[in-house]
Chain A
Amino acid sequence: MKKTLPAIIAHAAVILALILLMGFLGVIAAGVAAEGSEKFTGELERNVTLRILENDTAKEQGYLKELLEAFNKEYAGYGIVAVDANMDQYTDLEMGGPYGYGPDVLYQANDALMKYVDGTRKHILPVPVEKLDCYAHVDDNAWDAYKVTIDTQEFVCGVPVNIQQPLLYYRKDLLPENWETEWDDDRNGVPDMIENWCDLYRYSQLIRQQSAGSKYGYMKSLNDGYFASGYFFSYGGYVFGGEDGKDTTDVGFSKNDGYLGGKIIRQLASVMNLECTEDTITKNSYSRMAQGAYFATMTTPDVYTMFLKEMVLAGYTEEYAKENLVMTSVPKLPVSGDLEDESQGFREMTVMGGVNGYAISSYTKAPNAALAFVNFATSYNMINRRAELLGISPARGDLAETLGGLNATINENLADGTIYVMPSVRALAQVWTPLQTYCAVLADDALTGKNAYVTDDALKKGIANVDSQIYAAIHTLGGA
């Protein structure tokens, strides 16, 4: 009896502690929801100033000025004024936000924004997105990039603006004169080197031979994990497992036939130079393409104007540059995973992409006005203007359909999963270094003749090692 009483008390204490813990977690989740819903009362704050953080291109091209002027005119009656936050576009809300130095509304990529809710402190607010005009027009996959689950409750913490996807940029005037007869096997009027990687690889070899190594075909910094990851995804690899792709205990670049991505990277490196093992090509591709030293490269659509600017600086007229600088979907990859073997046909390349959007800071003193701004900035007209000026691919399906061309294709790619959206988890930061190092080693291996990664076994082992390094960085070393 004497032993039983303390045991009962101990059990009761444990149960009580568990109840309290569950209650506490419930309060946290409810708190996040309540924080959002309580702040968005629908009543606009009057006579407030909103600081808007936009990206540099929006500022440079004059879009931000137009947006702010239009919004301020619309909401002048409420005394709401939106101003440029005039901060670095990559400003970290975590650092200045809590002390009142952050912006009220910020535009960044989904992984950058969602890291603000992937911790103990929530720096951005859950947004009542169903109240926004754009809600019904944006694809679910784009909204998914901003969803966060806290204790089984789901919240949306960002509003998609545009979809980022790697695209192939090439110079039409650098195509071979006989491409219609020699480089268009299916006679569909599209050069084969734009349609599949095998022919782009072959054409790159040819350019190097004919120019005695002074000119190149396809050029890209192969160590860039954002772009290189697509080769692994296309053969079944992935970043994180789980239904929502956020299970960080399951790192999967090596899963299925992911190792074949490494094979492609090695082969592509062989038609480049050692600069492909570091960032040089990413930085010099604008001027090198303008000089005609590179035929093609891969990058995102938002830098189109940079290529144009360099071509004009190189002495071309803007008209000529616009006509000959082409931006198109990335080519198809061979099913065989070998750029010299197209016997098994081709498959669409899955690329890593992102969804850039707006979020509202938790530290804003005018959440309703901020929501009004987000609603205004994501309206059909404003996004249309943004697309016109900045060349972005809108996340609004209705607008993408109207604009057609690549915009519609990118939206379709997002819907059918050809775009692998960057997982919106903080642990993503631990992915880049191991992946970049491995890709750089592969490229170096091909160019310096070390040939350590020639066999499938070596490639499998290499990418499996990357997975375990990422896992260790997240879990063992507490990097997440």
Chain B
Amino acid sequence: MNQAKMKVAKAKTQKVLNILITYCILVVVAFVFFFPCMWLVLASFSKSGSIYSFDGFFPAEYGFDAFRTLFTDTVMYDYPKWFLNTLFIASMSCIIGTVLTILTAYCMSRFRFKSRKAMMKTTLVLGMFPSFMGTIAVYLMMTQFNLINQHWGLILIYSAQAPMGYMVQKGFFDTIPYSIDEAARIDGASNFTVFVKFILPLSKPILVYTALTAFTWPWSDFILPKMLLIDKNLYTVAVGLMSLGETEFARFAAGSIFIAIPIIVLYFCLVKYMINGMAAGAVKE
């Protein structure tokens, strides 16, 4: 009896110990990830603006000057304009990219045609190369299309590249029973009707997931806009922030935080759909 009690007590102690260790590790990991964010937030409220006037690791004095100048001092650094530029590019890329990705995934999932497998393999292999590999080629092509220094040049690239990552969406469409398509077709529905009226309403999670990923890439991309945008008035936030002067660190931090807000809000609102989309897309029927 005593032995049994001791075993139970030992098991309890072990459980408590396990929980304690797990939480300790979680706290440390959370701190490692959270601390830089917190530091950036505090830095954005630095009164002096320069990183070199900090009192040790944190700002010596706090204020809202960086946020104020971010939106009012626009002679050299027009943050509101950069923000709107980024919003325009990201939104348009999101809409066009989502449509193209969904259509690609649907075709690959539902239709059987010659060279389908070859195309799938090719896109899979091409997707393994980092996108910046083709930077010079893209630049030269854009010069020929007269799309340098134009937002539509960027939108075209982002939208055109988006369907390359159609695999998750295809996985999702694969989970939708083909019998739905067949039933609809027997009732006289065309391919387009089947897609719009039957498949899309069932695909809300993957649509949200696709739209979000198509939005976040152009929202935070640096390499392409840095290469293609020359006029400062056309800059995106990422490029604009990098052009800030050496003594403008607080403004840089404030700008970084402000640009993160819309994406954080979007994530919180749509996280449920995202998880559903990712989970469903990962399952192969």
Task: State how many angstroms separate the Cβ of A290 from the closest Cβ of chain B.
Answer: 8
Alpha-carbon distance A193/B194, docked complex (angstroms): 86
Contact partner, A86, options B50, B53, B231, B247, Cβ 8 Å: B231
Contacting pair B76 A59 (CB below 8 A): yes
Residues on A with beta carbons closer than 8 Å to the beta carbon of B231: 86-87
Q: Is the Cβ of B50 less than 8 Å from the Cβ of A310?
A: yes
Q: Which listed residue (A59, A280, A287) contacts B50, Cβ 8 A?
A: A287
Cβ contacts A75-89/B at 8 Å (1 or 0 each): 000000000001110
Residues of B within 8 A of A284 (CB): 50, 52
Task: State in angstroms the CA–CA spacing of A288 and B233 once bound together.
Answer: 33
B246–A283 touching, CB < 8 Å: yes
* Interface set, chain B 230-247, CB cutoff 8 A to A: 230-233, 243, 245-247
The reply to whether the CB of B94 lies closer than 8 angstroms to some CB of chain A is no
B52 A101 Cβ-Cβ under 8 A: no
Nearest CB in chain A: distance from B74 CB, A: 12
The distance in angstroms between the C-alpha atoms of A306 and B76, with both chains bound, is 15
Minimal beta-carbon separation of A21 from chain B (angstroms): 31
The answer to the question of B48 belonging to the interface, with a C-beta cut-off of 8 Å to chain A, is: yes
Whether B186 sits at the interface, judged by CB under 8 Å, is no
- Tell me whether B261 is interfacial, beta carbon within 8 Å: no
**Does A96 count as interface, using CB distance less than 8 angstroms?**
yes
Say which size band chain A's interface belongs to.
Answer: 20 to 34
Identify which of A287, A306, A309 contacts B52 (C-beta below 8 A): A287
- Report the bound CA distance from A288 to B232 in whole Å: 31
A86 touches B76 (CB 8 A): no
Cβ-defined partner of B53 (8 Å) among A56, A60, A101, A287: A287
Cα-based distance from A320 to B43 in the complex (angstroms): 29
What is the minimal beta-carbon distance from B23 to any residue of chain A, in angstroms? Answer: 39
**Across the interface, do A288 and B52 meet the contact criterion of CB distance under 8 Å?**
yes
Per the bound structure, the CA–CA distance linking A56 and B75 in Å amounts to 11
Q: Does any Cβ of B come within 8 Å of A233's Cβ?
A: no
List of B residues within 8 angstroms of A280 by Cβ? 52
Distance of A63 Cα from B83 Cα, bound (Å): 27
Secondary structure dominating the interface of A: helix
By beta carbon, the residue of chain B nearest A65 is B75
Given A101-B148, A310-B247: A59 in contact with B75 (beta carbons within 8 A):
yes
Any B CB within 8 A of the CB of A91: yes
Residue numbers in B under 8 Å from A91 (CB-CB): 230
- Identify which of B76, B149, B247 contacts A101 (C-beta below 8 A): B149
Residues on B with C-beta less than 8 A from A87 are 230-232
Among B52, B76, B143, B246, the residue within 8 A (CB) of A99 is: B143
Query: Do B232 and A86 touch (CB < 8 A)?
Result: yes
Distance from B170 Cβ to chain A, minimum over Cβ atoms (Å): 38
List B contacts of A358 (CB < 8 A): none
Instruction: State the Cβ distance, B274 to closest chain A Cβ, in Å.
Output: 37
What residues of B have a CB within 8 angstroms of the CB of A287 in the complex?
A: 48, 50, 52-53, 247
| Least CB distance, B181 to chain A, in whole angstroms | 48
Chain B, range 199-249, C-beta contacts under 8 Å to A: 230-233, 243, 245-247
In the complex, chain A residues whose CB is within 8 Å of the CB of B76: 56, 59-60
Contact A96 B75 (CB under 8 A): no
CB distance from B250 to the nearest CB of A (A): 11
Distance in angstroms from B199 CB to nearest chain A CB is 44
Find the A residue at minimum CB distance from B65: A313
A240 at the interface (CB under 8 A from B): no
- Residues facing A in B245-284 (CB within 8 A) are 245-247
In the assembled complex, the CB of A88 is this many whole angstroms from the nearest CB of chain B, namely 6
CA distance A34 to B74 in the complex (A): 44
Does A286 have its Cβ within 8 Å of any Cβ on chain B? yes
A291 touches B53 (CB 8 A): yes
A88/B232 in contact, CB under 8 A? yes
- Name which residue of chain B comes closest to A95, CB basis: B139
- Write the B17-57 contact mask toward A (1 if CB under 8 angstroms, else 0): 00000000000000000000000000000001110110000
CA distance A283 to B50 in the complex (A): 10
Chain A 52-84 per-residue mask, 1 if CB under 8 angstroms from chain B, else 0: 000010011000000000000000000000000
Q: Which of B48, B53, B232, B247 contacts A306 (CB 8 A)?
A: B247
Q: Shortest Cβ distance from A90 into chain B, in angstroms?
A: 10
Q: Given that A60-B75, A313-B48 are contacting pairs, would A96 and B230 also be in contact in the complex, using a CB cutoff of 8 Å?
A: yes
Report the bound CA distance from A310 to B245 in whole Å: 14
A89 to B, closest residue via Cβ? B243
For the complex, give the distance between the alpha carbons of A91 and B235 in Å.
Answer: 14
Q: Which residue of A lies closest to B60 (CB)?
A: A291
Report how far A312 CA is from B105 CA in the complex, Å: 60
Q: Which residues of B contact A310 (CB under 8 A)?
A: 50, 247
Q: Considering the complex, which residues of chain A in the window 286-301 have a beta carbon less than 8 Å from any beta carbon of chain B?
A: 286-288, 291
Could you tell me the distance between the alpha carbons of A248 and B245 in the complex, rounded to whole angstroms?
34
B245 touches A101 (CB 8 A): no
Least CB distance from A59 to B in Å reads: 6
- Please indicate the chain A residues that have their CB under 8 angstroms from the CB of B49 in the complex: 313
In the complex formed, the residue of A with least CB distance to B234 is: A86
Return B14 CB to nearest CB of chain A, in Å: 49
Which A residue sits closest to B78, measured CB to CB? A86
Task: A284 to B53: give the CA distance in the assembly, Å.
Answer: 8
Within the assembled complex, what's the spacing in Å between the Cα atoms of A160 and B233? 29
Chain A 82-112 interface residues, beta-carbon cutoff 8 Å to B:
86-88, 91, 96, 99, 101
Given contacts A86-B233, A310-B50, 14 further A-B contacts (CB under 8 A): A60-B76, A86-B232, A91-B230, A96-B230, A99-B148, A101-B149, A101-B230, A284-B52, A286-B52, A287-B48, A288-B52, A291-B53, A313-B49, A313-B53
A-B contact pairs, 10 of them (CB 8 A): A56-B245, A59-B75, A86-B232, A91-B230, A101-B230, A286-B50, A310-B247, A313-B48, A314-B48, A314-B53
Which 3 A-B residue pairings sit nearest by Cβ, starting from the closest?
Answer: A284-B52, A99-B143, A287-B53
